[in-house]
Structure 1
Amino acid sequence: MTTDLAEGAGSSPIGAAALSGFDRRSAIDAVRLRIGMAISLGLLKPGERLPDQHEVALGLSVSAITARRALASLAEQGVLVRRRGRAGGTFVADEPPLEVLRELTASPAESQQVHRLVDRRLLFECAVTHYAAVHVTAAQLEELEQLTAEMAASTNWSDYHQADERFHQLVAAASGLGTAVEAYNETLAELYAYFIPYPIEQLHRSNRDHMALVAALQAGDAAAAVEVSRRHVDILHRTMFMGLAAAAPPG
């Protein structure tokens, strides 16, 4: 679930707590790292156009000024290219400098932090999904279906990620678990702080899990809903952040 991946990664601007796993990097450097890793891993291709600055900010859960400064810095280093005109925008350079990309790597401590967050989310996800199957309302089910349709229609990772976040927050709200939902949302936001761009085709495949979850919730089948969520989050251990280089794409 992209941060979900993925879900997903993956909310409010990154704060000090969310950045603790980034070895106290600044918010700008954290964005630089996430985009650089996506390029190094082949998730963002040479010549590919990035969403506009506002959408990048929303997709990476940072402020607009943080996104703007991070993109400007990467452009100055030749990783990105900015073009003017009707067909302009920000693009991945045809040949991003390898020495710069090598600097945009994560430490083992960062990888460990990601996987601890995935484990924490796994526990939360199973709990909120179980109770959502019991308490979800018809209106919430309708909104969840609309969000899966929105994700299916998304044409870039930023749009998808924003709908993905709303989807998971709504499932949590449907659980009726009170203040525990706040703790879930905090963990989700922390994990989304590590979200890096994925090809939209991979995210669309991930959305099949969302559809299966909605079907289980509609049937009131708590066991099936929990199993969908368990599989969906567990895949983050193999695909998210550091695991991406050697793993199969998120499904």
Structure 2
Amino acid sequence: MSDAKLHEVRRAVYRPVRGGNALEDTVARLVQTVRLGVVAPGESLPSERDLAARYAVSRDTVREAIRELADTGYLVRRRGRYGGTFVADPLPQPPHPGEVDPAELDDVLGLRRVLEAGAARAAAGRTLDADIREELWARHEAAAAASEADYRRLDTLLHLTIAEIAGIPSLVALAAENRARVNVWLDTFPLLPRNIEHSNAQHEKIVNAILAGRTDAAEAAVLEHLAGSEALLRGFLT
């Protein structure tokens, strides 16, 4: 890669992240930094202070993102005079490298935004009886309390429950098919515990907006939530 091209790539991966999903976006940017070779295996990343300034996030967010990627084998933290955060050498290999078509990813994730944001808006616009309200909250609580092994299954059930209570029968099948395709990609990289915590907080925001009948808030909360997982998918897969 030429020096000029490398400079352009660095500008792209080190630009400020969005506020709503700062942790996920920072993780995704760091993964891109590694996978694009901006920082080679065995080399050190910029300091936490420098990364925080470049991404326009707090040092705590950078530290959490580095911890996530150290836990999954992408980064190595070293202490001492020559310490810092280094790219792992060798890097972990994804289970299905090179198999994701970027155009297909765009298509599936674009459809997901339409389906799930529309489902949340429709659900919030309905008058829900006590049983449905209780079921929705129970799905949220089950996902929040899930073990890592069961998290994606219960997360999926919560999202499909929202599609179901939207009151549009054909929407459920479309949402289920779309979610199945997304889950195949999600299963190619490990769960990130701090991302799960953030995801659960966003689930609560979505569910509360639906139960309160706030259509705009429900749609906006879903789009913010999906943007976080989309950032991770693009970071790990493209």
- 1:225 lines up with 2:228 in the alignment: no
Match of 2:185 in 1: 194
Corresponding residue number in structure 1 for 2:97: 106
Residues in 2 aligned to 1:113 and 1:151: alpha-carbon distance in whole angstroms: 28
CA RMSD of superposed structures (Å): 3.0
Q: TM-score, normalised by structure 1?
A: 0.54
Cα 1:230–1:179 change in 2 (3 A) is same
**How far has the Cα of 1:244 moved from its partner?**
3.8
Please show how residues 1-251 of structure 1 align to structure 2 within 5 Å.
42=70, 44=72, 98=90, 101-102=92-93, 104=95, 106-107=97-98, 109-135=100-126, 136-156=128-148, 158-196=149-187, 197-240=190-233, 242-244=234-236
Secondary structure of residue in 2 paired with 1:224:
helix
Q: CA deviation at 1:205?
A: 1.4
- Rounded to whole Å, the distance in 1 between the matches of 2:71 and 2:101 is 20
In 1, Cα distance between the equivalents of 2:123 and 2:71? 33
What SS does the corresponding residue of 1:154 show, helix, strand or coil?
coil
Alignment check: 8 A CA contact 2:202 2:225 kept: yes
Aligned AA (1:141) = R
Q: TM-score, normalised by structure 2?
A: 0.57
Q: Deviations over 1:129-184 (max 9, x none)?
A: 1111123432222122222222222231x211111011011000000112122112
Write the distance in 2 (CA, Å) between the matches of 1:104 and 1:201.
22
C-alpha change, 1:235 and 1:102, in structure 2 (3 Å) is: closer
Give 3-state SS (helix, strand or coil) of 1:107's partner: coil
Q: Letter of the aligned partner of 2:143 in structure 1? A: M
Which runs of no fewer than 5 residues in structure 1 stay unpaired?
6-40, 47-95, 247-251
How many residue pairs match? The answer is: 156
Could you tell me the percent identity over the aligned residues? 21
Q: State the structure with bigger RCO (CA 8 A, min sep 6), 1 or 2.
A: 1
**1:243 and 1:232 mapped to 2: Cα distance?**
16
Paired AA for residue 236 in structure 1: S
Larger Rg: 2
